[in-house]
Amino acid sequence: MTRVIVVDDQALVREGIRTLLEVAGIDVVAEAEDGAQALAAIEEHAPEVVLMDLRMPRHDGIWALERLREQRSDVPVLVLTTFDDDQLVLRALRAGARGYLLKDVTIARLAHAVEVLAGGGTLMSPSITDSLLRALREGATEREAHEVPLQALTARETEVLRLVAEGCSNREIAEVLHLAEGTVKNHLSAILTKTGSRDRTSAVLRALREGLLG
Q: What is the pLDDT of residue 84?
A: 62
Q: What is the pLDDT of residue 149?
A: 67
Residue 9 has pLDDT above 60, yes or no: yes
Q: Which residue from 182, 26, 35 is spatially nearest to 117, judged by alpha carbons?
A: 26
Q: What is the pLDDT of residue 15?
A: 93
The 10s digit of each residue's pLDDT in 94-120 is 888 888 888 888 888 899 889 988 988
Q: By mean pLDDT, which of 79-93, 117-131, 148-162, 179-193 is the weakest?
A: 117-131
Q: By mean pLDDT, which of 107-116, 127-136, 152-161, 164-173 is the weakest?
A: 127-136
Instruction: Please name every residue paired with 7 in a beta bridge, in sequence order, or none if there are none.
Output: 32, 52
> What is the mean pLDDT of the segment spanning 67-87?
85
> What is the mean pLDDT of the segment spanning 170-193?
92
Residue 145 has pLDDT above 50, yes or no: no
Options 3.10.20.30, 3.40.50.10260, 1.10.10.10, 1.10.1740.10; CATH for 141-209 is: 1.10.10.10
The 10s digit of each residue's pLDDT in 189-205 is 999 999 888 888 788 88
Options 3.40.50.300, 3.40.50.2300, 3.20.20.210, 3.40.462.10; CATH for 3-134 is: 3.40.50.2300
Q: By mean pLDDT, which of 74-83, 111-120, 141-150 is the weakest?
A: 141-150
Encode 156-175: b = buried (16+ Cβ within 10 Å), e = exposed.
ebbbbbbbbbbbbbbebbbe
Taking phi first (over 0 means left), then psi (-120 to 50 degrees means alpha), and beta for anything else, what does residue 196 get? left
pTM of the shown model: 0.74
List the domain boundaries for the chain: 3-134, 141-209
Q: Decide which of 17 and 127 is more confident.
A: 17
Confidence class for position 150, pLDDT limits 50, 70, 90 = confident
Q: What is the pLDDT of residue 141?
A: 46
> What is the mean pLDDT of the segment spanning 50-68?
93
Q: Compute the mean pLDDT over every residue in the chain, rounded to the nearest whole number.
A: 85
The percent of residues in the chain predicted with pLDDT above 70, rounded, is 87
